[in-house]
A and B are shown apart, each in its own frame.
Chain A
Amino acid sequence: MDLIEQLEREATSEVQAADSTATLRELEIKFLGKSGLYTGLLRQIGQLPAEEKPKFGAKVNEAKARLQAMIEERSADLKSGERSAQFEAERIDVTMPGRPLRVGYEHVLQLTTNKIKRVLGGMGFVYKESPELEEFRYNFDALNYPPDHPAMDEQDTFYVDDQYVLRTQCTDLQGRTFETSRPPLRVFTVGRTYRNEAVDRTHSHTFHQVDCFMVDEGISMAHLKGTLGAFARAMFGDDVKIRFRPDFFPFVEPGVDYAISTPKLFNGRWVELGGAGLIHPNILENYGIDTERYSGFAFGLGVERIPMMAYGVDDLRQFLENDLRFLEQFRAMA
């Protein structure tokens, strides 16, 4: 029995003295392992009288269990201390920069275009495109321009030859659409247009336009206003108001220009966005669409105008210069 107590005292003192979980693991093996000291003690059971054997065995096992419990308790203590030290040693400065990744992103005008496509697509307009190098007739004749209209001047329009121009507006899509499709129609496009203009902060010979139109039974100026209102609110915020003012474009009658106002931009001042109106019946009739049954609306919009208004871009030229210091600022644009 002395042996058991002696071993227990020895083990207790060593476990209490252990200063790391690693030492404890060694002690566990030394005392409790398969060939540990307690196992050695049990081997002596053979030399004992038969009646003492069960009692001895039981005592050894109780002592083992006590030691096991003590080691576990001690281990938990040590472990928590060790983890604390480890955490302290492994402390990082979270304000240091992240590891660089290479990421791609879209151009600011692309991001604007994406948003326009989502909104008008969601309103049931289907996206289409027409060529930039366009036939004169789709750019002008088909759109009810009188012959000899000033916009046809070489000072205003880039001519490739007598029949082809660099389109001055994305409205060229209308004639192409009416040529092949019948109402009901809801169509839009976003594309590049060209005008023979001198370049400065607010003018460019190359810019981008949205053109959107629909033809159906009973389409009215109220539908135009409702659609533009919904579109403008989706683009600029829920509190956007819309205003029509009479204006003249050969391809719409009545023709208006539309402006928006929101407390978020320019203190609620009216800002003109583009032209709109009911599609001129001359155009629909030219393509054999019955204007007693059908009417339609159309509106246009400059793409550049949107980031210029929303983000304070004040030099149109920057859009096509591709300075990454400029472009990267718009990556988060929604």
Chain B
Amino acid sequence: MKFPISMLRDFVQTDLNADQLGDLLTMAGFELEGIEEVDGDSVLDIKVVSNRGDGLSVFGLAREVLAKDSEAKSTALYEEARIDFAVAPDLQRVPSLSIDEDIAAIESEDCNRFACRAFDHVDAAAKSPDWMQVRLSQAGIRPISILVDITNYVMLELGQPLHAFDRDKLAGDRIVVRYAGSGERLTTLNGLEHELDGQMMICDAEKPVGVPGVMGGLDTEVTDATTRLLLESANFKNTNVRKTRKQLGLNTEASYRFERSVDPNGVVRAIERFTDLLLQSQPNVQISNVVDHYPGRVQFEPLILRVARSSVLLGMEISVDQAKSYLERLGMDVTDQGDGSLSVVPPSWRPDIVREIDLVEELGRVHGYERIPEELPIGHTPVGGVIGEYLDRDRLREAAVRAGFIQIWSHSLRDLHPLDAGGQRVGPRNPASPEMAHLRNSLWPCLADAAQRNGGRDLHLFELANVFSRSDQGYLERVELALWSSGALLPTSRQGEKNPEADFFSLKQSVVEIVENLAVEIRFESPNKSDARLHPTRQAVILSESGKACGTLGQLHPDIAEELGLPIQSLVAALDVATLFESSSRTVRLKQISRNPAVRRDISFETPKSIPFATLESAIKTACGDVLERQWLFDVYEGKGIADGNHSLSVALQLRKPGENFTDEEANQVREQAVQALVALGAKPR
């Protein structure tokens, strides 16, 4: 809310300058967003939090200044406003017109209060006084005509929205606040026509003439020709204003205030202030009595505030006397109970105060949060830090980094992508744009995006993040680890030096290294059903120790790689982190280190390519028994001398016996057992 500081000084006498007042309001919870000089005055821009509608008026902020600054004094205007301008000896307020109680009626539970006053001999075409035009302009409100300007000025000053009807245009000379029937229509001041159905409306004897707390109707608008006014000052339930405003697509200064609460006891105060300001310019205007219907009067129950408990919760000492003084300055009705507690009735403009803790906050606010000392909590210290599954996840990420992968963080909300996983999708029903209508169900699209952004080649990336899908049981959110590898495995080397390129087997080994860091063992198998996103003959399903599928690894399908403009030889992997950990025993046991030397034996053999290496490897392991410490494939050859459909493999065996040396003969014998096992599978020794 913007207002010139002179308006605040109308209510408060203080030595503080504009900057200091801005700081004071900030520390009271009304943040100064900006301060600027406009036409010779400082204009404050104050942000008011959503539960403090009372701060959306200069009068309300003046109250906060008086509460926070014990040096500040209230002005005569402030004191008059407090009592609704009921005694204003210098004002001629003898009504010369009379209106009946039934000029207005409330037939709706959403209207707390409705008051009005009639005015006659008004010059609606006149301008408002210069000082008012200046102040309104400073506040960012365009001056229009005397009636509009005074209405706006009173709203800015006191926070109460007002609406002036041209009384001659009100059918039946009457206002009824009622719910609209189906099909009733209203054209609002902004020229929009609304078809109504059940909304609370301000109506005349025949039809809706205004949207309560939002905007008046066009047909009953005040014009330059207007001489007779009916001024409305009312209070409506904030939920109703909000609902209607949203239904009709309207948003005004008035509705903004009503949604945040307007003081129902300020209704007559605003009428009197309007009258005062109008009479100052047009002394010959005739005024009526005020008709006031107030069915929604709220009786606030006293709250008990234990001052000692407040001090404990605030962490600073506040005395009973201080507490009483602070709350009274905020307009509360306070009784000292004599037992260290206060009985407090909050004022009508503070519907946010409903229990003791709300009063504790008021004490803290006025006493000053800058006086709270810093203390560290003592007492119970439960286990802290990152433990359990979260620690596993951290370690998995660290392992990926050690394996030479760069971590990316990308958007979860995104467009569809050729690398999306199958299955039912989830997404917001109100997406901001079609490009972010879906929650990712795989991290591969994110990795592909990052690869494209960074040139596609020589990239080794990973992301560890949540992916989303839907099943008949509901929504599923799970953590995935996904890797991307394309191009040179090392950064550009010097000319002539060998620089291997990423392939299926390089990424496979990275995945193995990463999970082995967490004592997890995995296997790779040809999938029964291939993943359409991947090269059909270069993909594997990753199985956990217990044989459960927990991931996929493969080369991008060339069609997709081409479509995305990414290297054909782009490798991706994905692991479902929960499955990976759940179905692994994750045991680490120390093996004694042998002092006896190991013996190596090599076997080369020709075998049909249709036999998976894992089968041969497993046969060798079984045949050699415990003495086989390690075996590894060190050559793969096909071509000259090897039958079509076959290849030649060379495997090294590392044999060792704890506490004993292997003799050559023993080693040869173990090798022979392995050879026999391979022959039994159809391999030919070479």
User: CB < 8 Å: which of B370, B397, B490 contacts A243?
Assistant: B370
Known contacts A230-B376, A253-B361; decide if A218 and B312 are in contact (CB<8 Å): yes
The answer to whether B409 touches A205 (Cβ under 8 A) is no
Chain-A contact segment, one of B69-77, B180-188, B423-431: B423-431
22 A-B pairs with CB atoms under 8 Å apart are A102-B489, A103-B404, A104-B400, A105-B406, A110-B407, A121-B385, A122-B384, A124-B383, A127-B387, A132-B468, A158-B430, A166-B413, A184-B380, A206-B411, A221-B313, A223-B377, A242-B374, A245-B29, A253-B360, A253-B361, A280-B357, A328-B406
Q: At the interface, yes or no: B630 with Cβ under 8 Å from chain A?
A: no
The answer to whether B29 touches A247 (Cβ under 8 A) is yes
Q: How far is the CB of B250 from chain A (nearest CB, A)?
A: 15
A118-130 interface code vs B (CB 8 A; 1 in, 0 out): 0011111111110
Nearest to B370 among chain A residues (CB) is A243
User: CB < 8 Å: which of A124, A131, A198, A225 contacts B477?
Assistant: A131
User: How long is the Cα–Cα vector from A184 to B466 in the complex, in angstroms?
Assistant: 30
- Given contacts A245-B29, A322-B450, list 19 more A-B pairs with CB under 8 A: A102-B491, A104-B403, A104-B405, A120-B384, A122-B384, A124-B383, A125-B385, A133-B439, A150-B259, A158-B413, A159-B429, A185-B382, A198-B432, A222-B315, A227-B377, A244-B370, A247-B29, A278-B313, A280-B357
Task: Count residues of A near B (Cβ-Cβ below 8 Å).
Answer: 82
Nearest to A223 among chain B residues (CB) is B377
Q: Which residues of A contact B372 (CB under 8 A)?
A: 221-222, 225, 244
Q: How far is the CB of B534 from chain A (nearest CB, A)?
A: 22
Q: How far is the CB of B428 from chain A (nearest CB, A)?
A: 4
Q: At the interface, yes or no: B369 with Cβ under 8 Å from chain A?
A: yes
Q: At the interface, yes or no: B412 with Cβ under 8 Å from chain A?
A: yes
User: CB < 8 Å: which of A107, A126, A227 contacts B387?
Assistant: A126
Q: At the interface, yes or no: B631 with Cβ under 8 Å from chain A?
A: no
Q: Which residues of A contact B173 (CB under 8 A)?
A: none
User: How long is the Cα–Cα vector from A123 to B376 in the complex, in angstroms?
Assistant: 10
Task: Count residues of B near A (Cβ-Cβ below 8 Å).
Answer: 86
Chain-A contact segment, one of B48-56, B111-119, B218-226, B660-668: B48-56
The answer to whether B364 touches A320 (Cβ under 8 A) is no
Q: Which residues of A contact B385 (CB under 8 A)?
A: 117, 121-122, 125-127
User: CB < 8 Å: which of B358, B377, B494 contacts A219?
Assistant: B377
Q: At the interface, yes or no: A246 with Cβ under 8 Å from chain B?
A: yes
Q: Which residues of A contact B491 (CB under 8 A)?
A: 100-102
Known contacts A206-B411, A216-B380, A222-B315; decide if A246 and B365 are in contact (CB<8 Å): yes
The answer to whether B409 touches A107 (Cβ under 8 A) is yes
User: How long is the Cα–Cα vector from A164 to B427 in the complex, in angstroms?
Assistant: 10
Q: At the interface, yes or no: B316 with Cβ under 8 Å from chain A?
A: yes
Q: How far is the CB of A239 from chain B (nearest CB, A)?
A: 14
Q: Which residues of A contact B489 (CB under 8 A)?
A: 102
The answer to whether A160 touches B358 (Cβ under 8 A) is no
Known contacts A101-B491, A160-B428, A196-B432; decide if A225 and B315 are in contact (CB<8 Å): yes
User: CB < 8 Å: which of A164, A197, A226, A280 contacts B376?
Assistant: A226
User: How long is the Cα–Cα vector from A132 to B369 in the complex, in angstroms?
Assistant: 34
The answer to whether B409 touches A246 (Cβ under 8 A) is no
Q: How far is the CB of A185 from chain B (nearest CB, A)?
A: 7
User: CB < 8 Å: which of B29, B315, B383 contacts A221?
Assistant: B315
User: How long is the Cα–Cα vector from A101 to B460 in the complex, in angstroms?
Assistant: 13
Q: At the interface, yes or no: B436 with Cβ under 8 Å from chain A?
A: yes
The answer to whether B406 touches A324 (Cβ under 8 A) is yes
Question: Residues on B close to A: CB < 8 A?
Answer: 26-29, 31, 49-52, 239, 242-243, 259, 312-316, 355, 357-358, 360-361, 364-365, 369-370, 372-377, 379-387, 390, 394, 397, 400-413, 426-432, 436, 439, 449-450, 453-454, 459-462, 466, 468, 475, 477, 489-494
Known contacts A253-B358, A255-B361, A278-B357; decide if A322 and B449 are in contact (CB<8 Å): yes
User: How long is the Cα–Cα vector from A216 to B365 in the complex, in angstroms?
Assistant: 24
Q: Which residues of B contact A158 (CB under 8 A)?
A: 413, 428, 430-431
Known contacts A132-B412, A160-B426, A254-B360; decide if A104 and B384 are in contact (CB<8 Å): no
Known contacts A226-B376, A248-B52, A253-B361; decide if A132 and B477 are in contact (CB<8 Å): yes
Nearest to B401 among chain A residues (CB) is A104
The answer to whether B410 touches A133 (Cβ under 8 A) is no
Q: Which residues of B contact A164 (CB under 8 A)?
A: 475
User: CB < 8 Å: which of B313, B382, B410, B430 contacts A295?
Assistant: B313
Nearest to B260 among chain A residues (CB) is A150
Q: Which residues of A contact B380 (CB under 8 A)?
A: 184, 216
Q: Which residues of B contact A107 (CB under 8 A)?
A: 407-409
User: How long is the Cα–Cα vector from A113 to B382 in the complex, in angstroms?
Assistant: 21
The answer to whether B375 touches A226 (Cβ under 8 A) is yes
Q: Which residues of A contact B364 (CB under 8 A)?
A: 221, 246, 254
The answer to whether A225 touches B373 (Cβ under 8 A) is yes
The answer to whether A100 touches B492 (Cβ under 8 A) is yes
Q: How far is the CB of A232 from chain B (nearest CB, A)?
A: 10
Q: How far is the CB of B581 from chain A (nearest CB, A)?
A: 15
Q: Which residues of B contact A253 (CB under 8 A)?
A: 357-358, 360-361
The answer to whether B375 touches A126 (Cβ under 8 A) is no
Q: Which residues of A contact B49 (CB under 8 A)?
A: 247-248
Q: At the interface, yes or no: A327 with Cβ under 8 Å from chain B?
A: yes
The answer to whether A206 touches B384 (Cβ under 8 A) is no
User: How long is the Cα–Cα vector from A127 to B410 in the complex, in angstroms?
Assistant: 22
Q: How far is the CB of A111 from chain B (nearest CB, A)?
A: 9
The answer to whether B314 touches A254 (Cβ under 8 A) is yes
User: How long is the Cα–Cα vector from A131 to B51 in the complex, in angstroms?
Assistant: 29
User: How long is the Cα–Cα vector from A221 to B363 in the complex, in angstroms?
Assistant: 13
The answer to whether B453 touches A321 (Cβ under 8 A) is yes
Q: How far is the CB of A122 from chain B (nearest CB, A)?
A: 7
